[in-house]
Amino acid sequence: MNAVQTEIASTRSSFTSDTKSSAGDKHEVGRAMVQQELDKLEEQRAKLIALQHELARVPMDRVYAQAGLGSLVITDQGSYYRHRAGCGGR
């Protein structure tokens, strides 16, 4: 989350500090690309917040008889955290 917040701040800074050049179309294209990056970062931030809320609801002190929501499954092939119903692992 901190990395995304830092990237958003940096991208916003470049968006607001960009000065209009003599090549107006080039400037507008550059600003549009920065805005697309901001939109993508904001979407990523929203997904992280939703995942944090989802994880906060998982009881961490429960022992499961079989893998379910909130299960940490450790196998010889790797470790998997079941964070969504029906997600199949990772």
Distance separating alpha carbons of residues 33 and 83, to the nearest angstrom:
33
pLDDT per residue as tens digits for the range 33-84: 888 999 999 999 999 999 888 878 777 777 767 877 777 888 899 988 876 6
Nearest CA-CA partner of 38 in 63, 4, 67, 72: 4
The distance from CA 28 to its chain's CA centroid, rounded to whole angstroms, is 27
Given pLDDT bands bounded at 50, 70 and 90, which one contains residue 90? very low
Q: Chain centroid to CA 56: how far?
A: 16
Domain assignments of the chain as residue spans, ordered by start: 2-57, 60-90
pTM: 0.57
pLDDT in the model for residue 44: 94
Which residues touch 54 (CB under 8 Å, ≥6 apart)? 83, 84
